[in-house]
Amino acid sequence: MIERKISIKKSLHKTGKSEINIESNASGKSILLLILALVGAGILLTAWLAQNYFKNKWLEERLYLERSQHSIEIVQSRLDMWLIQYNQEVVKEPQNKELLMASTYEIIRCVSTLLAWEEARVSGGSYEPIVVKNETLNKAKELYNVKDLDGLLKLSGILIKTKRTFQSQLDGKFFNQIDKTRSGENTWNNIFMWAYIIGSVLLGSRWIMKTLFSWPDKMVWNIKSEEPQKGDRVITGLLGWPDKVVWNISADESKEEKYDKLNSAENKRKR
């Protein structure tokens, strides 16, 4: 609320002098500018957090998933290579038992690694799939050391069956997670954009009000009327007082604004 104090004084002695003092305190304007500054700064802070923390968080998770997919594709290529080698050795006569054991062991290692990585990346950072993989590899290593080909073939058969059973489920979770990260990234990017625009508009409005319109201000108008002196311009007011109007303006304004008000008052007086 803008507070205004108006006092009118008029002396009744023969000189007929009168004085009007009008004082305007723009406390409401100050509060408005403060609110614009605080809200605008808060919204811009939100924009900064949206871009540099929340958006980056989703971006990093998406990049992690994409990197993990690249690593999984490399292991998958190795698995395909060893499967080809295994199939060639199985049909050979006579079989190369050492090469057959080596290819079977490598198949176990690749499949257990794929299962562990594909499950770990969609399980919220759980370390349990890695533990299962390590246990499986330790068991396969023991079988390989004792040259137990039947045990290796049995273990590889179990792993390949498990992979076929859960592969579609793991792929679905992966793509859902990718979509979730992209959605979160886009959401925070939109929040950043709108928060930046709104915050900039609020702070820009405050700057316009303060700089161009001189908010806040404290303006004091002193209007005095005196009996005309010889050579003064004489005007007749509503009460028929011939007087000389003297404007004395003091305000927290620039000189240009004071001169504008003086010129405006002079123009009105001439009219």
Q: 49-82, pLDDT tens digit by residue?
A: 998 899 989 998 888 888 888 999 999 999 999 9
**Residue bearing the bigger pLDDT, 232 or 28:** 28
Q: What is the pLDDT of residues 151-176, one digit of tens each?
A: 999 999 999 999 999 888 888 889 99
- Quickly state the pLDDT bin for 237 (edges 50, 70, 90): very low
**Residue bearing the bigger pLDDT, 84 or 14:** 84
Q: Which long-range contacts (CB under 8 A, 24 or more apart) does 122-128 make?
A: 122/170, 122/173, 122/174, 122/177
Q: What is the pLDDT of residue 209?
A: 79
pLDDT > 70 fraction of the chain, expressed in percent and rounded: 68
- Quickly state the pLDDT bin for 20 (edges 50, 70, 90): very low
Q: What is the pLDDT of residues 188-203, one digit of tens each?
A: 999 999 999 999 998 8
Q: What is the pLDDT of residue 116?
A: 92
**Residue bearing the bigger pLDDT, 84 or 212:** 84
Average pLDDT over residues 230-245: 43
| Cα dihedral value 219, 18, 8, 271, nearest 10 | -60
- Quickly state the pLDDT bin for 205 (edges 50, 70, 90): confident
CB atoms within 10 A of CB 35: 12
Identify the weakest region by mean pLDDT among 27-41, 127-141, 242-256.
Answer: 242-256
Q: Write the CA distances from 13 to 16, 17, 165, 223, 235, integer angstroms.
A: 6, 8, 110, 18, 21
Average pLDDT over residues 118-144: 88
First to last CA, the chain: 34
Q: Find out whether 9 and 19 touch, Cβ atoms under 8 Å.
A: yes
Question: CA-CA distance, 87 to 21, in Å (whole number)?
Answer: 106
Q: What is the average pLDDT value for the chain, to the nearest integer?
A: 76
Q: What is the pLDDT of residues 77-120, one digit of tens each?
A: 999 999 998 988 888 888 888 899 999 999 999 999 999 999 98
Question: CA-CA distance, 217 to 2, in Å (whole number)?
Answer: 11
Residue 125 has pLDDT above 90, yes or no: no
Q: Find out whether 73 and 113 touch, Cβ atoms under 8 Å.
A: no
